[in-house]
A and B are shown apart, each in its own frame.
Chain A
Amino acid sequence: MSILVYALHYEGEFNQNSLGAVSEGAKLAKELGGECAAVVVGGDDLTDDLCASLGRYGATKVFRGKAPEGLAQPVVDVMAKVIQDNGFRYALFGGGLLGFEIGAGLTARLNAGVTMEVTAVRAQDGGLVAERPILQDSAIVDVGYVGETGIIIGRLNAFDISEGGDGAAEVVDVDVQLEEHSTKAVMVQRGEQRGADVNIEDADILVAGGRGLGKAEGFEACEELAGALGGAVAATRAVVDAGWYPYAAQIGQTGKTVAPKLYLAAGISGAIQHKVGMQNAENIVAINKDPNAPIFEFSDLGVVGDLNKILPKLTDAVKSKKG
C-alpha cells in the first residue's frame, strides 16, 4: 500500500507545498504499512543530491524523469509509468496549479478517483480517506476510493513540512516515452514577474485590495492607509491579473502565503483561493459593501460599507491616533 508524491521544483529548489506533501505521504504510508516515494520531472538541475534530499522528508525512493518543466502533461506520462510499473495505490499532490492539472490528467489515464482541495488525509480501514471542504467551506466531505488507484490533491498549505526521514533517498531514473500530445504545448517563458518587486511577507500589517476597489486608482487609498498603519499593501489575484497591482504583492493560491498580525481586506470577496493565503493572520478585518461576501465568514471584524467613504476617514483617524 504505497504512496507516490509529486515534488515540484524550480531553479534547484523544491516547492514548499511539495515538501509538505512528501512529509504527509511518508506519515500516511507508515500508517498503511507501505512506503512513500517521490517523483520529480525536469532537466539537468535535478541532481542526484537534490533528489536524494527528499529522503529527509520521508521519501524512500525518488523517481526521476527527464522531460520539459512547468507543464503538466509530461509529468502525467512519467507518473502513469511509475505507478503502473511499481503498483502505487495513491498519488498525492501538495497545493498548487500544476498538481491540479497533473492529478486530473492521471485520473483520466488511470481511470482513477480524484479529490481536490483536500485539507486533511487519514488512514482508515486499510485505505486513505480525504477530507474536502465544499460549498465555500460550509461543509466537509469524507471521500474514499474504489478501484486500483486513488488521487489526492491538497489545498495550498494543507500539509505541514516535517523532516522525519532517515536521510538520503534512493534515486531511480525513469525512461519514459512522452505521449505525442504531451509535446504539443511548449513553454515560451516561465516565471515572469510583472510589476514592481515589493516585500509583503515580512510585514506585520497588510492592507489588501480586491476588485471591490473599483479601479486601479483605488489602491492609492490602500497605500495611504498602509502607510499610516506602518504596513504594506497586498492584492488579490483578480486585481493583479487586471494589471492594477504588481504580482509580487499577490496573496493566495498562486501568490504568497502570509500570516501578519493584522490583515485588513478592502473590497475582497474572500474566495477560497485567496483565503488559503491569509487565513492564518492573527486579526482579520474586512470591509466590503456586499453583506454576503464570504470573507465575513472568517473575519474577526467585518464592516459592511463603502470603501470610498471609510478608507480616507480611517486613514486620518489612524494618523491622529498615532500622533
Chain B
Amino acid sequence: MKICVLVKEVPDAAVEKRMDNGSKRLDRSGEKNLNPFDTHAIEAAMQIREGGELDVEEIVAVTMGPESAFRALHKAVSLGADRSVHLSDEALAGSDVCATGYALAKVLEAESPDIVLLGQQSDDGECYTIGAVVADHLKMPSLTQVIKIDVEDGKLRCERQAEYGYDTVAVELPAVIAVGDAINEPRYPSLKAIMGAKKKPLDTKSTGDVGIDSGQVGEGGSKTQVLAVNAPPEKASGEMIEDEDTNETVEKIISWLDERKLLA
C-alpha cells in the first residue's frame, strides 16, 4: 500500500507576505519553509503506517512548485516520507486552483496511491480546496478537515466538524483525505533524519513526464483572472497595552471597560 502526501513550499511564517502588483501574484521571494499544515498530514501518514492495520510500504511526498521547492520535500522526508516527487515546470507558473488541482491529479495518477493525504490549507494561499479538486479528477472519495482517522475493516473511519456538529464518515480506499491541524502533534525530525533526507530518492518531473496538457495549466490554462489587488477598507487601529506592570495593565483595562459602560 502506498500513501502520497501532498506538500507545499510556502513563505516562512516570519516573512511579511505581499502581493506583487505587476504580476498580481503572491510575492514568494524571501525565506521559505514547508507549509506547517502539511506536517500534520505527514504525521497522519506515519501513524497509519505505525498502526499496522494497513500494510503501508511507502510514503511519498509530492509537490508542485518552482525549483526551490525541493527543500520542502527534504523537510517532508526528514519527517518520515520515504521518497519524494517534484513536479516542476515553467509551464505551471501562475496556475489557479483549477489548474493546480488538475496538475497534481496527473502526477498522483502516475503514482497510483491508495491514500492521498494533505493539510487543510496552505499557509499562503488559504484555499482549503485542493483535496476535493484532486479527488474529483482521481475519482476517489474524499473528505477534508478530518481530525481523527481510524482504520476499520480496510476503510478509514474519519471524524470532523461540519456545520451541525461532529460527523463520522466511513471512507473506502483509495481516498483523498485532508487533515485538520487538531489531528496530531507532528514529531520533530531527528538530526539523523535531517541529514539523511538529502540522500533519499527525489524524482523531478516535467509536465510532459506525467501527461499534463500544458494548455490546461499556467496562467493561460487558468479559469480565474485576478483583475485587481486592493487595500482593505481602513479600520481605526485599536489601543495597545504592553503588560509591564500587571496591576497597572489591569487598571487600564478596567477603566477602558468602564468608559464603555461594560461593567454596569
On A, residues with C-beta under 8 Å from B are: 8, 10, 15, 70-73, 76, 96-98, 100-105, 107-109, 111-117, 129, 133-135, 137-147, 150, 153, 179-182, 184-194, 205, 229, 237-238, 240-242, 247, 254, 261-262, 272, 283-285, 291, 296-306, 309-310, 313-314, 317-318, 321-322
Let me know if B240 and A241 touch, CB within 8 A: no
Asked if B88 CB lies within 8 Å of chain A CBs, one says no
**Chain A residues positioned under 8 Å from B131 (CB to CB):** 104
**Distance (whole angstroms) from the CB of B133 to the closest CB of chain A:** 5
**Most chain A Cβ neighbours within 10 Å, of B160, B238, B251:** B238
Asked if B135 CB lies within 8 Å of chain A CBs, one says yes
**Distance (whole angstroms) from the CB of B96 to the closest CB of chain A:** 6
Let me know if A135 and B18 touch, CB within 8 A: yes
Beta-carbon nearest neighbor of B258 in chain A: A321
Let me know if B19 and A134 touch, CB within 8 A: yes
On B, residues with C-beta under 8 Å from A are: 17-19, 24, 26, 96-98, 101-102, 105, 124-137, 139-145, 147, 157, 160-172, 175, 180-182, 216, 222-232, 235, 237-243, 246-247, 249-251, 253-254, 256-258, 260, 262-263
11 A-B residue contacts at CB 8 Å? A72-B132, A98-B162, A116-B127, A141-B226, A142-B229, A188-B157, A191-B164, A193-B165, A297-B237, A298-B238, A321-B254
**Most chain B Cβ neighbours within 10 Å, of A98, A102, A186, A284:** A186
Since A139-B229, A237-B161, A321-B263 are in contact, a sample of 15 more A-B pairs with Cβ atoms closer than 8 Å, ordered by chain A residue number, is: A73-B135, A104-B133, A104-B136, A107-B136, A108-B98, A112-B223, A129-B227, A139-B230, A181-B135, A188-B168, A188-B169, A205-B262, A247-B166, A272-B126, A310-B246
Which of B98, B232, B242 contacts A114, CB < 8 Å? B98
**Chain B residues positioned under 8 Å from A191 (CB to CB):** 162, 164-167
Let me know if A190 and B232 touch, CB within 8 A: no
Which of A15, A194, A283, A298 contacts B262, CB < 8 Å? A283
**Chain A residues positioned under 8 Å from B19 (CB to CB):** 134-135, 139, 141
**Chain B residues positioned under 8 Å from A117 (CB to CB):** 126
In whole angstroms, how far apart are the Cα atoms of A96 and B144 in the complex? Answer: 12
Return the 10 tightest CB-CB contacts between A and B, nearest first.
A305-B243, A113-B223, A241-B182, A104-B132, A108-B136, A104-B129, A113-B224, A191-B164, A184-B141, A185-B141
Let me know if A186 and B260 touch, CB within 8 A: no
**Distance (whole angstroms) from the CB of B258 to the closest CB of chain A:** 7
**Chain A residues positioned under 8 Å from B142 (CB to CB):** 72-73, 101, 105, 185
Beta-carbon nearest neighbor of A315 in chain B: B250
Let me know if B161 and A189 touch, CB within 8 A: no
**Distance (whole angstroms) from the CB of B236 to the closest CB of chain A:** 9
In whole angstroms, how far apart are the Cα atoms of A189 and B106 in the complex? Answer: 33
**Distance (whole angstroms) from the CB of B184 to the closest CB of chain A:** 11
Beta-carbon nearest neighbor of A190 in chain B: B167
**Distance (whole angstroms) from the CB of B234 to the closest CB of chain A:** 12
Let me know if B242 and A184 touch, CB within 8 A: no
Beta-carbon nearest neighbor of B158 in chain A: A185
Let me know if A143 and B225 touch, CB within 8 A: yes
Let me know if A144 and B227 touch, CB within 8 A: yes
**Chain A residues positioned under 8 Å from B135 (CB to CB):** 73, 105, 108, 181
**Chain A residues positioned under 8 Å from B172 (CB to CB):** 184-185
**Chain A residues positioned under 8 Å from B169 (CB to CB):** 71, 185-188
Let me know if A296 and B254 touch, CB within 8 A: no
In whole angstroms, how far apart are the Cα atoms of A317 and B248 in the complex? Answer: 11
**Distance (whole angstroms) from the CB of B135 to the closest CB of chain A:** 7
Let me know if A299 and B238 touch, CB within 8 A: yes
In whole angstroms, how far apart are the Cα atoms of A306 and B246 in the complex? Answer: 9
Let me know if B223 and A139 touch, CB within 8 A: no
A105 and B249 contact, Cβ closer than 8 Å, known pairs A254-B162, A262-B257, A272-B126: no
**Distance (whole angstroms) from the CB of A68 to the closest CB of chain B:** 10
In whole angstroms, how far apart are the Cα atoms of A13 and B231 in the complex? Answer: 38
In whole angstroms, how far apart are the Cα atoms of A76 and B168 in the complex? Answer: 20
In whole angstroms, how far apart are the Cα atoms of A56 and B242 in the complex? Answer: 51
**Chain B residues positioned under 8 Å from A144 (CB to CB):** 224-225, 227
**Chain B residues positioned under 8 Å from A137 (CB to CB):** 232
**Chain B residues positioned under 8 Å from A262 (CB to CB):** 257, 260, 262
A303 and B224 contact, Cβ closer than 8 Å, known pairs A101-B144, A189-B168, A314-B250: no
Which of B126, B128, B168, B231 contacts A139, CB < 8 Å? B231
Let me know if B171 and A185 touch, CB within 8 A: yes
Let me know if A317 and B141 touch, CB within 8 A: no
**Most chain A Cβ neighbours within 10 Å, of B223, B229, B253:** B223
**Distance (whole angstroms) from the CB of A204 to the closest CB of chain B:** 9
In whole angstroms, how far apart are the Cα atoms of A237 and B131 in the complex? Answer: 21
Which of B126, B226, B249 contacts A310, CB < 8 Å? B249
**Chain A residues positioned under 8 Å from B127 (CB to CB):** 116
**Chain B residues positioned under 8 Å from A284 (CB to CB):** 238
A247 and B141 contact, Cβ closer than 8 Å, known pairs A144-B225, A317-B254: no
**Distance (whole angstroms) from the CB of A287 to the closest CB of chain B:** 8
A242 and B232 contact, Cβ closer than 8 Å, known pairs A73-B142, A112-B223: no
Beta-carbon nearest neighbor of A295 in chain B: B238
Beta-carbon nearest neighbor of B136 in chain A: A108
**Distance (whole angstroms) from the CB of A26 to the closest CB of chain B:** 22
**Chain A residues positioned under 8 Å from B246 (CB to CB):** 305, 309-310, 313
Let me know if B166 and A104 touch, CB within 8 A: no
